[in-house]
Structure 1
Amino acid sequence: MSGTKELDAPREIVWDVINDPEQMASLMPGVEEFEVQDDKHWRAKVKVPLGLGGLKMTIDFEKLEERPLEFASLNAKGKGVGALMNMTTSFTLSEDGDKTSMDWSADVKIAGPVGSMGQRVLQPIVNQQVGGVLDALEAKVAEKKAAAQG
């Protein structure tokens, strides 16, 4: 999956939000617990909504690469009952005046019984989750921009 999200804020504000694990955890649906281990590693306990009920998963995040204000990539490995997840995400920021364009990509692999549900079943759920995170990111960036303008 990949896309572009246009954000109505300078690149520094967008970077501050997406490069802060605690702020990003607050944007993810279903986060029940969150812990920063160091500046490149953190862990979240998440309840992923999957139809009836949800899948509880522990996800370990590792920052793979970063070029401040421009690019970052991240790997996430999750384990839950009936599922293993491996996800690599990256984003590139470019500035156009007071606005920022964020090109993003996410490669998500799910194994185990949940993964066997197939792409046809899982893709709409993944799309909904990504859309929710991007909308929450836009709201958080707008909040930070307003606070910066004071």
Structure 2
Amino acid sequence: MQGSRALAITQQQAWDALNNPEVLKTCIPGCDKVESTGPNQYAVGVAVKIGPVAAKFNGKITLSDINPPNSYTITFDGQGGAAGFGKGNSQVSLAPSQEGSGCVLSYTVHASVGGKIAQLGQRLIDGVAKSMAEDFFKRFDDEMQRQHPEAYAAAAKVEAASPPPAAGAKVPVWAWAVGAAVVLAAIWLLAR
């Protein structure tokens, strides 16, 4: 799974939020625990339902190749008892927006799952992962808007002053996301 999202906040604000366990706990669907267990290591707990399989997953996340506030790699490993397991990694990067304000979060996730979850089929798993990622972006956007209202006010002014898109042109998606958070949301989805 891969993607990118435009964010109204600065690159540093996005980096800080993605490295804040409380922000991640608030934004990751079904998450009840994100706790530091050591330098660049976290224990996580997430409740997930994929089709007929519902389970509580516990796992660990390790950050590596850290280049603040630009990028890092997230390695994850989660166990959901009889429901199965998930493991993999994700590369997350933040870059200044080409439009002048805000930043762009890009991510790539590689994951594998086993157990009952793997028997559900890739299409169902991918659909749930995509839905969870979108839910994460919405929650993250709401939280960043609460924490940084000035960034959203400035983005709204820029958007209002921009000419309307040409007929047939795609309107940019403002579905918030943050590197590690996106990865975490995808991880929680795929790690179940």
Instruction: Flag the structure with higher helix content.
Output: 2
Contact 1:17 1:140 in 2 (8 A): no
What's 2:36 paired with? 36
Deviation per CA, 1:22-49: give whole Å up to 9, x if none: 3212211111233211231111121112
Conserved 8 A contact 1:87-1:107: yes
Q: Percent identity?
A: 17
Counterpart of 1:93 in structure 2: which amino acid?
Answer: L
Equivalent in 136, 154, 159 of residue 133 of structure 1: 136
Q: Relative contact order (alpha carbons < 8 A, sep ≥ 6): 1 or 2 greater? A: 2
Within the candidate set 111, 119, 124, 1:121 is matched to 124
In structure 2, what is the Cα distance between the partners aligned to 1:40 and 1:15? Answer: 14
Q: What residue identity is the alignment partner of 1:46?
A: V
Q: Which residue of 2 aligns with 1:88?
A: 89
Mind listing any 5+ residue stretches in structure 2 that lack a counterpart? 153-192
Does 50-59 or 36-45 show the bigger shift? Answer: 50-59
Gap regions ≥5 residues in structure 1 = none
Would you tell me which structure has more strand in proportion to its own residues? Answer: 1
> 1 CA distance for matches of 2:20 and 2:106?
18
1:48 alignment counterpart: 48
Q: Is the 8 A contact 1:83 1:112 kept in 2?
A: yes
- Give the TM-score, by structure 1 length: 0.88
CA spacing shift, 1:24–1:113, aligned 2, 3 Å: same
Of 114, 123, 137, the residue aligned with 1:111 is 114
Alpha carbons of 1:7 and 1:148: their partners in 2 closer, same or farther (altered >3 Å)? closer
TM-score by length of 2: 0.70
1-structure distance, mates of 2:121, 2:151: 44
- Over residues 39-74 of structure 1, what are the superposed CA-to-partner deviations in whole Å (9 max), with x where a residue is unaligned? 311111211122346211101111122110111111
Could you say what the CA RMSD is over the residues aligned between the two structures, in angstroms? 2.0
Q: Does 2:62 align with 1:62?
A: yes
Which residue identity is paired with 1:91?
Answer: V
Is contact 1:7–1:141 with CA below 8 Å preserved after alignment?
Answer: no
Question: Secondary structure of 1:9's partner?
Answer: coil
Give the secondary-structure state (helix, strand or coil) at the position aligned to 1:116.
Answer: helix
Quick check: 127-136 or 17-26, which moved more? 17-26
Q: Distance in 1 between matches of 2:124 and 2:80?
A: 18
Matches within 5 A, 1:22-33: 22-33=22-33
Q: How many residues align?
A: 149
